[in-house]
Amino acid sequence: MKFNLLGKALIAFCSTAAFAYANSAVVAFDRGLTADISGNFQEAIKQFSIAIKEDSNYAYAYNNRGVIYRSLGDHNKAIEDYNQAIKIDPTFAYAYYNRGLVYYNLGNKSKAIADFTQATKIDPNYRRLQPSARDRSELFRRLQ
């Protein structure tokens, strides 16, 4: 099938528009990361929320929005987002780790231990969960 120049341009435009639409959640997620890095936390929340609206199964967007809520001290919203990320992807070790941090900061040591343990079961090589032997014994001493 032969296309004239206008036909080729139309096909290229439609393909690009379809790609952009299909990846609008990714674009918003990337904007959220950029806002987070620059310290614009409200914009980060807005962009991660847009990503979630575009793709309700975007576990990373829930997780990252939870990180922002945690850093702003909104522990309930952080836990809600981590719960949703884990519901979407039960193998998301980082979401368990992040939720464990919130529980630890709230003084709920048993839930913190459970989440840290689950994260290491999912990903035994996860760097954040691989402290030195001294650090590990100190962490568990504090959690007891």
Global pTM value = 0.76
Query: What's the per-residue H, E or C state across the chain?
Result: CCCCHHHHHHHHHHHHHHHHHHCHHHHHHHHHHHHHHCCCHHHHHHHHHHHHHHCCCCHHHHHHHHHHHHHCCCHHHHHHHHHHHHHHCCCCHHHHHHHHHHHHHCCCHHHHHHHHHHHHHHCCCCHHHCCCHHHHHHHHHHHC
Per-residue pLDDT tens over the stretch 75-131? 999 999 999 999 999 999 999 999 999 999 999 989 998 998 899 889 887 666 655
Assess contact for 43 and 64: CB atoms under 8 A.
no
Q: Which of 5-14, 28-37, 54-63, 100-109 has the lowest mean pLDDT?
A: 5-14
pLDDT at residue 124, as a whole number? 80
Q: Which domain holds residue 14?
A: 5-143
| Phi and psi torsions of 103, nearest 5° | -60, -40
Looking at the structure of the chain, the number of domains it has is 1
Environment class of 107 (CB within 10 Å of its CB; exposed 0-12, middle 13-18, buried 19+): exposed
> Can you give the CATH number for the domain in which 104 is found?
1.25.40.10
> How many whole angstroms separate alpha carbon 41 and alpha carbon 19?
28
Structure tokens at 35: 């806002």
pLDDT at residue 22, as a whole number? 52
Task: Tell me what percent of the residues of the chain surpass a pLDDT of 90.
Answer: 62
